[in-house]
Amino acid sequence: MILKLKKPRQINGTEITELNLDGLEELSGDDLQSIEAGFRLMHKAEYIPVINLDTRYQMWIAGRVTGINPEDFGKLYAPDYVALGVAVQNFLTSGG
């Protein structure tokens, strides 16, 4: 799945106009466990009741499949950021 951005952004000197999320389908259970473990370690002081609905966690997954640092997604235009989170959330909650 290709997510076309409404407003291109510069991330690390590269203009991003779209995000390729095809890698979501290639993730393994081990990948998701690893991403979740790293995320929970980073946010260990917080109670996160439903991790799949946490936008920051969704950005970690998007980062894994796009090769972009999850923190850099914060530079996206807000509607693009939301669309990215929704795309990952839909993947997580629909069983792929």
Q: How many angstroms separate the CA atoms of 79 and 4, rounded? A: 11
The DSSP code sequence of 27-45 is --HHHHHHHHHHHHHHTTT
User: Could you give the angle at the alpha carbon of 12 between the alpha carbons of 19 and 33, nearest 5°?
Assistant: 55
Among left, alpha and beta (phi > 0; psi -120 to 50; other), residue 34 is alpha
- Structure token pair of residue 44: 């260990």
The reported pLDDT for the residue numbered 96 is 55
Q: What is the pLDDT of residues 46-96, one digit of tens each?
A: 888 899 999 999 999 999 999 999 999 999 999 999 999 999 999 999 875
